[in-house]
A and B are shown apart, each in its own frame.
Chain A
Amino acid sequence: MSAALFQLNTEHSPKKRWWTNQELAEFYRVSDIMAQAGLEVDSESGLSDEGDPWFVYVRSDTGDVIAHFAIIDGTFIAVSAVTQDLYRGKDIRSLIDQLVERHPMMMPSGSNGKVVLHPSILLTAFVAAAFVAASEEVQANTIEEVLEVALAINNGEKNTSTKTGSNTADPSQSTEVADEETGKEINAETAPAFNDLDAGKTFGSSFSLLGAIILALEISSRETALANTQQSSNSLNMQALTDLYSSEYLPVPSLVSASNPFSITDFNQDDVSNLGDSTQFHEPIPNSQLTTKKNAATLTTDLDSSYLGMQDAKMIASDSLINSPNTQNNSNEDFSSYSHLGDGGFSQATTSDSNLFYSSDTEQTSKTVRNDISEQKLSVAAIDIVSLVSGTVNNTSQKEDNLNHYSLDNSLITSFSSGPVDFDMQIASVKEVQENSTSEENSTKGEVLIPSLNIKGHLLSAEGPETLTLSNEVDILLYEGGNVSVSNFELGKDRVWFFLSEGKNLYESYKITESNDLVLEFETGDTLTLLGVLDTESSSLVL
């Protein structure tokens, strides 16, 4: 006679599941990003005998596993296969939070913990760091060592630094990567992974690897921006665009330096080709630097919930930003303010109802603009022209007051060009809902005006008229090209949107004439002239 003893497991058994498509997509995206940076990794996934999924990254050249992800009993784990650094969390987002907690250097300085880093960036950082840690040349004990070294190099920290001019000796690494590292400095105190390295070949190779990790992060951040803006290209979804501006999609966080102001005006994937020269990095602008909010509205925006396990992620945009020449206004309020014009009242600006701008619920005529832009990566640009010409505007404070009445920020020109997507954009003249509420006589100074203005769209192209006189409504100029002179353009109320081809700068140069005309000159030789736009008297009168 025999007896079998069965152990009754009374504990709740988490439901086993395979990776979601989103999770897999994110994993593969990391692979792609790393491949672009010259870090070739394979990946493989499988199920345990209990049905728990795992996913690993494997170095293509050696076959060694560098990072292991799994969901064990409902808990996400991430492990650096070499250093065995292990992270646990309820989802990948929480893993990433742990990564940030353990590696505070990854956070941008001065962020006060308010910045939400994009999951892809940190996921890539983790895998890329694991890749570097798995290199024989890099005698790192922990992921943190690798990250510290990489980020210290990237920050150009100068303590007991050792100058290196060595090029890569590793044929598997691109020379661009090595060149990018040439001349950079490494902080020996914060670089224990490199303390024991011999000079020469190994050193150069290590630097090329570190260059690769930086590249991976850079590409990750760039693609993050693109991925989000491309969402908007499908349906001209303003939410995505405003999310881009209002969120903190940072490049390698510590790359952000106040002493290194950005000169970029757009996000261009082609820029990746320039990554070999660190001086040509066109870093995505931390959007906190893009934002000017005179109304001091604290913006809380849901980040893309499609990212792995990313729930209830919020970011708070900084409201303490300034109008510096290198500061771009965001277009967030542009979109929201339009929508509120149609509401017949002004409330706290949000982006959730920005689609009102394109609402078909209008009584006025609408104008459909067909815009076919091909072979372009989405790029986004915003120019604060008030800042641009601030030296010539004498009555700024008065303008700003008026701008506040209209809930408009002082960004004048917003530009974006779209990806290879054909889209119809409907510029609707939004009829005011509460028509009886506004008259000039009833409006008292200091009171929030209820805008009674319609929105009118004007397509400006080489085939169109060369002159245009704007109305006293909110005029939106959609500039495709051509030599056009526009009169009655009112600062703070009217807008210009540029639709430019790939590779074109927003404008080549600008000049201000004696008659207070603002002339924007483009590479094509076309000019857009805003006649008398800087005539403060007329602007003030209008406003």
Chain B
Amino acid sequence: MSEPLLVVKDLAVHFETEDGLVQAVDGISYTVERGKTLGIVGESGSGKSVSSMTVMGLTRAGNARISGSITFDGKELLTASNSDMRSIRGGDVAMIFQDPLSSLHPFYKIGDQLIEAHRSHNDVSKAKARDRAVEMLTLVGLPDPRRRIDSYPHEFSGGMRQRVMIAMALINNPKLLIADEPTTALDVTVQAQILELIQKLQAELDTAVVMITHDLGVVAEVTEEIAVMYAGRIVEYGSSDTIFAAPEHPYTWGLLKSIPRLDTPRDEPLVPIYGRPPSLINKPSGCSFHPRCPYVREAHKKVDPGLEPTGGADATHKVACLLPAETRRSLWAALRAGETPDQVLQEVDIPANTLSPSAEGQTGEEVTGQ
């Protein structure tokens, strides 16, 4: 248990396009321990899917420039050959996608697809693989699996298709399951079924899970650690308890305050995040979040913050923010009490030039968004 299952270090994934270089992922690091769950939260275009697809070796296109390192179970994946990647993909690392209809082949019976997934990684007879497929379909709670194994994907409802996808992903006992928005296309009641299923199977099979989602409710229910991504970077990282109880990045605050919740008073106003996510071709200088941040100071437009420990109670808690730690804490305390950013700004004094430790030695330097 000592060595982490997945170590992603300084991963950058850039794509050359006609419009310019898209910096989809721009230097992120995280680790996933065996059997644990990491949540990656972010909006569209934050790089959350690209980073996980790179783990699977799915971004190896001609125009992609990938740097950094991805170590899975002691093996470097970025330099692995395509055939090595093929044996890892679907074997030790499996993925489930948002839309179960487009990720299942419409022409083949689900049984044939499950059998192929099993036989391409294991030297077993068709009959044995079929037994395994039935076993997996039973495990994911598909009713009457012996008969339904000969059905086509369109004969299933959305929730059942997602169960089939999960069965296929887990058929080779993967050590790591990457779930990319697995419940976004589903109704809440079905979402609850699928989340429960993933958690149950994870406990039984001791699979580590990377859960990618934009839904803070989903990560709160199923993950132990959370990485918040913005514009290709991780801007905050910590245990899920910390991220929800004591977040320190203004973007995380924005996310938490802009969703209506069932457990807060109904008339509590929503505080939207102004503006919109930046272009990944032409990122803002300094802190990428500065054009949308209500607490921006002149210096934040020049200095690029690094992801640094917050020094709080949670030792894993890290944040990439140029505000001094004590300022961040008083800002969140006021926001949490129900104040809007405008009210908060009148009360909390933000020093114009004091920067958090992460920026030390950088002030005045020319920093670009690269």
Verify that A and B bind, or say they do not: no
Residues of B within 8 A of A (CB): none
Residues of A within 8 A of B (CB): none
